[in-house]
Amino acid sequence: MNQLTSSASRVAATGEGIGLDELLLAGRNHAMPLEALRYDVTPAGLHYLLTHYDIPFVDEATFRLHVEGRRSFDLDMDDVRSRPRVSRPVTFECAGNGRARFQPRPVSQPWLDGAVGTAEWAGTPLAPLLREVGFDESSVDVVFTGCDHGMEYGSEQDYARALPLADALGDDVLLAYEMNGQPLLPQHGAPLRVVVPGWYGMTQVKWLRDIRIVDTTFAGFYNATAYRLKQHVDDVGEPVTRIAPRALMVPPGFPDFMTRTRVVDRGDHVLTGKAWSGWAPVRRVQLSADGGATWWDAELDPPASRWAWQGWRSPWTPESPGTYALCVRADDEAGNQQPTDQSWNRQGLSNTSVQRVEVVVR
């Protein structure tokens, strides 16, 4: 079964194009087209999407959520919906966003910039449920298991991710059954998923079937092996957790179909976009029109909500024709900022190198 055992992911050779394995992933998992940064809430189907295995079909009629701590119980969707309901806009981003821009490129889902989106998530707070099943001082992690099933490094598993108990008890953590005022779409985890605001996408377990409070640090694949910042395959590495700050702009002008180069008319423009950080509110967004040599500050829109991206805007008036490299970067109130150089790692995670949009002014 050699063709199954995708072992530790490969790093592409210099100049090596995207292979069939990466293209198979890229065709399934889709980014948000950057012009959709205009929307405060991303419309259905434009939100980024990453699915490790297949999208499972979960029959709501027979669905039960198992919750286990010192006690345990099962809930059906009527039970879940009868609990207190809250709704909030939350920005999600894949931890691998930017992976395909790393040099050299770690071979996996080849994201460029757009693995992000913001939805209005509605559901019931998690913390009261955890208190109902009970925990004590020896409790460490909460393990969330989905119905999505596949193979990793030769080992068969359902997708499972643990969150430290203290984080799972956060006021803003939800079990969500609605997205943008509609029942969850199949690909976004129907009928029920976790929403942990501020954390990268691997935390937001979809098709959730099991919640378990455990007394030892969870050693499952997606905590112990994947989603860790490593330089070498056998490093233990640090886990990625919260979303590092990033700003993205709506590419101005219009594109050439094949090259995707942007054409912009000389004169007055307003550059716009969004910025976010899972660590602290956005403090500043800066723009450059010369590839990062010089920067100016954009104006921030009033924040709409702690966990949703924040709008920004800035006038830009290119006076002379030619090629410009527009860049944007954000930093947050905790002092985190986007790096000037890539901070390369073996799994291609959290590449928040600044966005660069080449435009031709005519």
Contacts with a copy of itself by CB under 8 A lie at 1, 3-6, 9, 16-19, 21-28, 30-31, 33, 35-36, 38, 43-47, 49, 51-55, 57, 100, 107-108, 110-112, 114, 149-152, 156, 185-188, 251, 254-261, 263, 323, 358, 360, 362
Residue (107 or 168) nearer to a copy of itself, CB: 107
Pick 132 or 256: Cβ nearer a copy of itself = 256
* Cα radius of gyration rounded to whole Å, the chain: 21
Nearer to a copy of itself, 255 or 267 (CB): 255
- Residue whose CB is less far from a copy of itself, 10 or 81: 10
What is the residue whose two structure tokens read 């490969």? 10
The closest of 102, 94, 103, 100 to 112, measured between CA atoms, is 100
Closer to a copy of itself at the Cβ: 185 or 229? 185
Q: Determine phi and psi for 222, rounding to 5 degrees.
A: -80, -5
d(CA 155, CA 13): 27
Looking at this protein, which amino acid is placed at residue 45?
A: G
- CB of residue 207 vs a copy of itself: minimum separation in angstroms? 13
In whole angstroms, the minimum distance from the beta carbon of 15 to a copy of itself comes to 9
- Give the nearest distance from C-beta 110 to a copy of itself in angstroms: 6
Helix (H, G, I), strand (E, B) or coil at 102: coil
Helix or strand or coil: residue 217? coil
Q: How far is the CB of 321 from a copy of itself (least distance, A)?
A: 9
Alpha carbons 274 and 5: distance in angstroms, whole number: 40
The structure tokens 């955890």 sit at 130
The distance of closest approach from Cβ of residue 41 to a copy of itself in the complex, given in angstroms and rounded to an integer, is 12
* Most distant pair of Cα atoms in the chain: their distance: 70
Contacts of 284 by beta carbon, 8 Å cutoff, 6+ apart? 297, 300, 330, 331
Q: For a copy of itself, which is the closer residue by CB, 124 or 187?
A: 187
Q: Which is nearer to a copy of itself, 214 or 360 (CB)?
A: 360
Angstrom distance (rounded) from CA 34 to CA 146:
29
Taking the complex as a whole, how short is the minimal distance between the CB of residue 180 and a copy of itself, in angstroms?
A: 10
For residue 6, which of 21, 26, 17 has the smallest C-alpha distance?
21
CA-nearest of 254, 250, 224 to 239 is 224
CB of 251 to a copy of itself, least distance (A): 8
